[in-house]
Structure 1
Amino acid sequence: MGQADHFILILGGLVLLGILAGVLSSRIGAPLLLVFLGVGMLLGEDGPGGLQFGNFRTTYVVGSVALAIILFDGGFRTPMSAVRMAWAPATMLATVGVVVTAVVTAGFAMLAFDIDMSQALLIGTIVASTDAAAVFLLLHQHGMELRKRLSATLEIESGANDPMAIFLTITLVTIIAAGGTASPFEIFQGFARQFLTGAVAGVAGGYLISRSINKLELAAGLYPVFTVAAALALFGLTQLIGGSGFLAVYLAGIVAGNRRLRARKLIGRFHDGMAWISQILMFVMLGLLVTPTNLLKDIVPSTLVALALVFIVRPLAVFLSLIPFRFRLRERIFIAWVGLRGAVPIFLAMIPVLGGLPHSLQYFNVAFLVVIVSLVLQGWTVPWLARRLRLQVPPRPEPSSRLDLDLLASGDSDIIAYRVTDKSPIAHKKPGTLTLPTGAHVLAVLRDEQVVAADKADHFMPGDLALMISPPEQAFKLDRQFVPPTAERYLLGINVGDFAFAGTTPMKLLADAYGLPVIEADREKKLSRFLRERLGSKIGEGDVLAFGGTELVVRELIDGEVSQVGLVLEPEPPLPILSRLRGMFR
């Protein structure tokens, strides 16, 4: 009994330490995952904690469960619009990009460690994939709001490239352990089986999970528990039948997350907490597993491999993978820099150890050191680089507070509550002045703890709580009428323009007022059409068009159309390195 109590105390203490360390890290700007790893190392055998922990098998099982939960949660929060926008470039990065990274990194590993090609390839595949937990957390930890296609590409890539790296690592370990070789056809056959099985299981599983949630009559608290259990069962079943369980849970999360679900908000909050616990446990356990003194002999060659991966290999893989797609140079540079390595390479490095390969602990040490370099070098600088490359867009106001009312899952509307303030556009106005989207209605107004019927409310007063019913896809139109504009949207170092114009403004107005070189054929065109013709169909908020010594900035999109444009009269000069690179690619 005493041993069990001791274990429970340690487990609870680890999670608490991770959370408290996370609070501290947010104040100093340190990457959270680096802090979690540091906590594990401090508690380990070389640190003040002195805990003796070296169970790779237990860590691998816990890591598999944690990674499955993180991937399902990442998929659950990915809107289908982001998938449609970024699936093609993200898939190229997750497949071609991973292979290029593995092969080129292997070349540097051979030089740095003086090892044969099979060992070098194993190191390359172990560190080839970006980490979903690291990317998801980094992009949201600092409150960064990136252009939609850019952020969608990064997040979908990080969730989709794990199965590729896992497949390559297991295949190489199997081949090396057997002392033989495998034909390209056998490798491709195994790859196709893993991914096709995982994809089919994921889509079918996500559909079944959502259907089950909507059909079963459970206590409210059991819906999120059921979802986690179903995701883990799907992961295990897919692995058993020869598919990629990691791909399956990620796709299941996307499918389920984009369907109407009973108790959706409760499920979302629960999964958010589970993902946090999974990240903390996984990184702290991985930190416990490493012995810092054992890293010293590999620190120099591992650092060289890590620097080559950051500055040469990842950019090369990104530029090659994105050749078919219209990404701007600054976007390619940013995608190349956000190639964070996190728990996945360390997780993959346990496979050679469990497979009993010679020099297996060296693979583990190399992966750990590469992750440390990546988190320190890239994790600390991503927000700065996003600002310098001007890829951030002004964050939208905080979403309106939505009541977690359990409407029928088959319904097509949400209940939304808006708190009216002095700065709300609707304050002191009559309900009749609202421009309600199709399917939206005012249900009631809560004022001074009294319910005022919709037809009895003569106007909206500060302090009122307006209850609306609206289709979820129309809610943003209500936000524009209820949510007060925030100064922070334009005070984050993001230049959204000295002057604002509606998307319907004719180009001739700007030409005449500011002397812009608008040709005769474009004078009658609306700003929205002019920008779309030059920026392409993938236009997004924050996109910039340099024009006539000024810049036109897409401030806002509504239903895919440019509704507001900013004019920057004196743009900042580009970074010198961008000018040089742009000249090289001309």
Structure 2
Amino acid sequence: MTKGRSAEDRIRDLVREEPALTVEELNRLLLVSALILLVAVTAVRIASRTGLPSLLLYMGIGVIVGEDGFGFEFDDAALTQLIGYTALAVILAEGGLGTKWSEIKPVLPAAISLSLVGVGVSVGVVAAGAHFLVGLDWRQSLIIAAVVSSTDAAAVFSVLRKVPLPKRVTGTLEAESGFNDAPVVLLVIAFSTSETVGPWYELIGTITLELAIGAAIGLAVGFIGAYGLQHMALPASGLYPIAVMAIAVGAYAAGAMAHGSGFIAVYLAAMVLGNSRLPHSTATRGFADGLGWISQIGMFVLLGLLVTPHELSDDILPAVIIGLVLTMVARPAEVLASLIPFRIPWREMALMSWAGLRGAVPIILATIPMVEGVPENEKMFNIVFVLVIVYTLVQGPTLPWLAKRLDLGDADAAYDLGIESAPLERLRGHLLSLSVPAKSRMIGVEVGELRLPRGAAVTLVVRNGSSFVPSPQTVLRSGDELLVVATDEVRDAAEKRLRAVGRGGKLAGWLGTG
């Protein structure tokens, strides 16, 4: 592969060259991609029952399809890195939209300390272990140490979702995973693009500046975007989720182009948008969640394709040793050094020490030295890959057990309820929405006089920008918007009755209207 070529150069080459795929080949590729997606979606069910993070199953799909499985050869680290960065931006955007400011605000200083001070401690300890115990040179040791210093929120919460924990623990872990990608990426790039890293204070100054630029751009884009969406009436509700994701991803691009951290920019912009009272916020969360799943599936499968299993044997022992240093020494040390000033109880620190799961981010970052042509880059990639797999298998299933042993399960904790499509499907119900136009015969009709079939009810009325739960005596007015919940059996009958009242008034049916 060509060293130092930009993404723009690669795109221009693709435009100048002949099409790489024929229509027939494209059809086969689409069929295979659809089948992989279906298998991956099914794997989520398996992961939820076994307690394993779904990333392992996705990467397993890639390995099976790859060179040692079905024989599909793929070794383009640069393309993997480009797709990985894009996927990470989408995943961080989805995570930011779901981050509640009220939950992370009390633990924000602790999370920032973990993301900055903690990363520094982890890199130092792991690099020393890789150098003295495994025999890697200092540059390779620093690169691997930086690569594996980023935690993965998806991996952590996929195994903890059934164990309610104190909000301080979940908030700290969530914020840490959203913030620590940015400094880690900058460290890996710094160690990979130069033979000798400059003075430590210059490196820290550069990272601080890029984080500050990214944070400023992310917050600015988030607030401006939220203001615009709150004061702009888009012609279709389906455009709001697209606009929100476009704003978040735009923050990533703007932050990166301004020589700041695009990852911190996209996370903060999405967090601002997610905590603003935006129209159709539930639909936006569902849309972002779907994009996040697609990004995770595509990224993990691609990473599985990139690895060649039969070449991993020589790197298993170094990966296990470095992983032991990371999980048993470095992670507890970074938690201790970062959280002691905040008087966190020892049981919570113990859980957070074991909850430092590594996921897609380290494997994506391991492609940076491959693209930059760092010596022994394939060895470093293999070590990181094995480390992530082995220690996710060890830590993932044991996290719920440890939480219970530490008596951190909060049995009284309340879960957020998804109230869009899934609960209605489980109840075999439908949510109908209708507006009362100016010339409708429904104007002046009381809610009770709608005489909806048993199993259907008006649950909410939106009037002049305010919503309220109606009583049977509530009189409908022009411009009202009604939300009606109906069971599966009476859905059509409820819609027919509403249309009849709109044309014939409250006596519809009795007078032959309907």
Fold shared by both chains (TM-score > 0.5): yes
Match of 2:473 in 1: 453
1:30-69 to structure 2, matched below 5 A, reads 30-47=52-69, 49-69=70-90
Instruction: Give the residue type in structure 1 aligned to 2:203.
Output: I
Match of 1:203 in 2: 219
1:50-129 to structure 2, matched below 5 A, reads 50-129=71-150
| Cα-to-partner distance string for 1:241-292 (whole Å, 9 max, x where unaligned) | 1010000010011111111101111101101111111111111111111111
| Length-normalised TM-score, structure 2 | 0.77
Match of 1:526 in 2: none
Instruction: Give the residue type in structure 2 aligned to 1:186.
Output: E
Where does structure 1 lack aligned partners over 5 or more consecutive residues?
A: 408-439, 446-451, 456-463, 467-586
Contact 1:131 / 1:158 at 8 angstroms: preserved in 2? yes
- Tell me how far apart the structure 2 counterparts of residues 66 and 266 of structure 1 sit (CA, whole Å): 21
Where does structure 2 lack aligned partners over 5 or more consecutive residues?
A: 1-22, 421-430, 436-465, 476-483, 487-514
1:434-445 to structure 2, matched below 5 A, reads 443-444=469-470
- Tell me how far apart the structure 1 counterparts of residues 433 and 120 of structure 2 sit (CA, whole Å): 47
Contact 1:202 / 1:251 at 8 angstroms: preserved in 2? yes
- Tell me how far apart the structure 2 counterparts of residues 303 and 397 of structure 1 sit (CA, whole Å): 37
Q: Which of residues 216, 225, 242 in structure 1 aligns to 2:259?
A: 242
For 1:172, what is the secondary structure of its paired residue? helix
- Tell me how far apart the structure 2 counterparts of residues 256 and 355 of structure 1 sit (CA, whole Å): 36
| Length-normalised TM-score, structure 1 | 0.68
- Tell me how far apart the structure 2 counterparts of residues 216 and 135 of structure 1 sit (CA, whole Å): 38
Match of 1:253 in 2: 270
1:399–1:299: structure 2 CA closer, same or farther, 3 Å change rule? Answer: closer
| Shift in Å, 1:219 | 1.5
Match of 1:9 in 2: 31
- Tell me how far apart the structure 1 counterparts of residues 218 and 365 of structure 2 sit (CA, whole Å): 22
| Cα-to-partner distance string for 1:466-498 (whole Å, 9 max, x where unaligned) | 9xxxxxxxxxxxxxxxxxxxxxxxxxxxxxxxx
1:54-453 to structure 2, matched below 5 A, reads 54-140=75-161, 143-176=162-195, 180-214=196-230, 215-394=232-411, 395-396=413-414, 399=417, 401=419, 443-444=469-470, 452-453=472-473
1:230–1:308: structure 2 CA closer, same or farther, 3 Å change rule? Answer: same
| Shift in Å, 1:441 | 8.3
1:400–1:374: structure 2 CA closer, same or farther, 3 Å change rule? Answer: closer
- Tell me how far apart the structure 2 counterparts of residues 27 and 208 of structure 1 sit (CA, whole Å): 42
Contact 1:71 / 1:132 at 8 angstroms: preserved in 2? no
| Shift in Å, 1:310 | 1.1
- Tell me how far apart the structure 1 counterparts of residues 468 and 237 of structure 2 sit (CA, whole Å): 27
Instruction: Give the residue type in structure 2 aligned to 1:396.
Output: A
- Tell me how far apart the structure 1 counterparts of residues 122 and 201 of structure 2 sit (CA, whole Å): 21
Instruction: Give the residue type in structure 2 aligned to 1:112.
Output: L
1:102–1:52: structure 2 CA closer, same or farther, 3 Å change rule? Answer: same
Instruction: Give the residue type in structure 1 aligned to 2:209.
Output: R
- Tell me how far apart the structure 2 counterparts of residues 65 and 406 of structure 1 sit (CA, whole Å): 39
1:45–1:242: structure 2 CA closer, same or farther, 3 Å change rule? Answer: same
- Tell me how far apart the structure 1 counterparts of residues 313 and 31 of structure 2 sit (CA, whole Å): 32
| Shift in Å, 1:31 | 2.2
For 2:75, what is the secondary structure of its paired residue? coil
- Tell me how far apart the structure 1 counterparts of residues 356 and 236 of structure 2 sit (CA, whole Å): 42
1:465–1:400: structure 2 CA closer, same or farther, 3 Å change rule? Answer: farther
Instruction: Give the residue type in structure 2 aligned to 1:359.
Output: E
Contact 2:190 / 2:197 at 8 angstroms: preserved in 1? no
- Tell me how far apart the structure 1 counterparts of residues 370 and 68 of structure 2 sit (CA, whole Å): 21
Instruction: Give the residue type in structure 2 aligned to 1:443.
Output: V
Instruction: Give the residue type in structure 2 aligned to 1:166.
Output: V
- Tell me how far apart the structure 2 counterparts of residues 453 and 354 of structure 1 sit (CA, whole Å): 69
1:192–1:331: structure 2 CA closer, same or farther, 3 Å change rule? Answer: same
RMSD: 2.4
Higher normalized helix content (fraction of residues): 2
| Cα-to-partner distance string for 1:308-352 (whole Å, 9 max, x where unaligned) | 211121111111111101211111100000000000110110000
Compare 185-194 and 321-330 and name the one that shifted more: 185-194
**Across the two proteins, how many residue pairs are aligned to each other?**
416
Match of 1:509 in 2: none
- Tell me how far apart the structure 2 counterparts of residues 30 and 184 of structure 1 sit (CA, whole Å): 39
- Tell me how far apart the structure 1 counterparts of residues 305 and 391 of structure 2 sit (CA, whole Å): 19
| Shift in Å, 1:56 | 1.2
- Tell me how far apart the structure 2 counterparts of residues 357 and 125 of structure 1 sit (CA, whole Å): 15
Contact 2:92 / 2:178 at 8 angstroms: preserved in 1? yes
Instruction: Give the residue type in structure 2 aligned to 1:290.
Output: V
Contact 1:340 / 1:378 at 8 angstroms: preserved in 2? yes
- Tell me how far apart the structure 2 counterparts of residues 256 and 294 of structure 1 sit (CA, whole Å): 45
- Where relative contact order (Cα < 8 A, 6+ residues apart) is larger, the structure is 2
Contact 1:130 / 1:341 at 8 angstroms: preserved in 2? yes
1:308–1:465: structure 2 CA closer, same or farther, 3 Å change rule? Answer: same
- Tell me how far apart the structure 1 counterparts of residues 265 and 396 of structure 2 sit (CA, whole Å): 28
Question: What is the percent sequence identity of the aligned residues?
Answer: 39
- Tell me how far apart the structure 2 counterparts of residues 184 and 375 of structure 1 sit (CA, whole Å): 32
Contact 1:263 / 1:406 at 8 angstroms: preserved in 2? no
Instruction: Give the residue type in structure 2 aligned to 1:261.
Output: L
- Tell me how far apart the structure 2 counterparts of residues 183 and 441 of structure 1 sit (CA, whole Å): 60
| Shift in Å, 1:197 | 0.6
| Shift in Å, 1:137 | 3.2
Instruction: Give the residue type in structure 2 aligned to 1:161.
Output: N
| Cα-to-partner distance string for 1:361-411 (whole Å, 9 max, x where unaligned) | 11111110110122101111111111111112124266484779899xxxx
| Cα-to-partner distance string for 1:1-35 (whole Å, 9 max, x where unaligned) | 11211221222222111111221232233221111
Match of 1:436 in 2: none
- Tell me how far apart the structure 1 counterparts of residues 185 and 418 of structure 2 sit (CA, whole Å): 40
